[in-house]
Amino acid sequence: METSNRPAATGPLRGVRVLEFAGLGPAPFCCMLLSDLGAEVLRIARPNNPMQSFEAVLDRGRITLTLDLKQRSSIEVCRALSRGADALIEGFRPGVMEKLGLGPDTLLADNPKLVYGRMTGWGQHGPNAHTAGHDINYIALAGALHSIGTATKPVPPLNLVGDFGGGALYLAMGVLAALLNARSTGAGQVIDCAMTDGTASLMSMMFGLRSLGQWRDQHRRDNLLDGGAPYYDTYRCADDKWICIGALEPQFFAALIGKLQISTSEFPDHTDRNCWPAMRARFEQVFASKSQAEWCELLGNADACFAPVLSMSEAVEHPHNVARGTFVAPGGVVQPAPAPRFSLTPSAIQPNVGIDEQTLRAWQLPEHLIDQVLSQA
């Protein structure tokens, strides 16, 4: 028997097996998170579809098996692997897995405890379910994109809100919740994770404020947290770099204007919208008088809710991030370290390895299929 080339995983999900069908964006990110937490993720990759360089971080920590899902023998292998899995994650359009013979009805009949996670933009049903889309489209339909940007134009916030926030993180939460339920009841289930649903959920506080008449929905930069309030915004410095302030509470606002040497009499009630234009002009003038580094020196240790706006390169080198080990560089590739932190079962980036006999046996693959897979590896 071959010896596995994958060291024992660490993390709170050690012992959990996840079968991943390779895709792009949120589903791989979800599986990266689960792998960082210690789950053993076996990734089914398609032949002649090499990993793109930008996917290297999202695809970390996997055992990879390449299969041609157009072949009946490959479908047999996937069904057998799903019998030894705790969870399965796929990110295809609705109906694709069913056409392959790997839909949830089939696989849950094979393995009643299986947690079957489905990641899509629009969801498994609805008028848009079978149409193409990307993050920008999903967050637009959920009401988030309209609230983000300049006064004159919505601006996509990278793909943090839809793909990763409303998608991958909600799927990871759903998988973990369903795993807990399966362990207590013996019943697996299907998770329909739509990025539109997750993004709408992320907007819960804003909808709450709107219901109370405290969120103006007509325009951007007209509210407390969208850049409308001058004490929760970004400002250009003398060196053309940027800083941000978030002094929402009275005590933090007092600390801020004290450091800026602005009299409290100028803005006795910082929540009064009538004073916001004058306050913004004053802040713009003051912050433009010093460099970003000078503001860091003056405000860095004050309770003024201040931070420099850093590029990715600068973030990697910032003393706070360095002290916490927020970024790591395995193999020379700089990337975020696993998060969050666990006191008893620390997370870790698992190595990417190929398939081996020991792994296939651990996944309860029948002998004839082990021989078939290894002969094609």
Amino acid at 316: V
pLDDT score recorded for residue 1: 29
Percent of the chain at pLDDT exceeding 70: 97
Question: What value does the mean pLDDT take over residues 192-214?
Answer: 97
Strand partners, 335: 328
Q: Which two tokens mark 92?
A: 């295809």
Helix (H) or strand (E) holding 87: strand 87-90
For residue 362, give the 3-state DSSP assignment. Answer: helix
Q: What is the tens place of the pLDDT at every residue in 303-330?
A: 999 999 999 999 999 999 999 999 999 9
pLDDT score recorded for residue 5: 56
Angle of CA points 349, 35, 156, to nearest 5°: 90
183 within 8 A of 253, measured Cβ to Cβ:
no
Please provide the distance, in angstroms rounded to a whole number, between the alpha carbons at the two ends of the chain. 16
Residues annotated as part of the active site: 134, 163
- Going along the chain from its start, the domains and CATH numbers come out as 17-202+338-376 (3.40.50.10540), 232-319 (3.30.1540.10)
pLDDT score recorded for residue 48: 79
Q: Which two tokens mark 349?
A: 């980036």
pLDDT score recorded for residue 2: 38
**pLDDT class of 53 with cuts at 50, 70, 90:** low
**pLDDT class of 51 with cuts at 50, 70, 90:** low
* Longest CA span, the chain: 82
pLDDT score recorded for residue 10: 85
Q: Tokens 């024992």 belong to which residue?
A: 8
363 within 8 A of 17, measured Cβ to Cβ:
yes
pLDDT score recorded for residue 376: 82
Strand partners, 119: 193
Q: What is the tens place of the pLDDT at every residue in 264-304?
A: 999 999 999 999 999 999 999 999 999 999 999 999 999 99
Contacts of 83 by beta carbon, 8 Å cutoff, 6+ apart: 110, 111, 364
> Mean pLDDT across the chain, nearest whole number?
94
Contacts of 245 by beta carbon, 8 Å cutoff, 6+ apart: 231, 232, 233, 235, 256, 283, 304, 305, 306
Q: What is the tens place of the pLDDT at every residue in 95-151?
A: 999 999 999 999 999 999 999 999 999 999 999 999 999 999 999 999 999 999 999
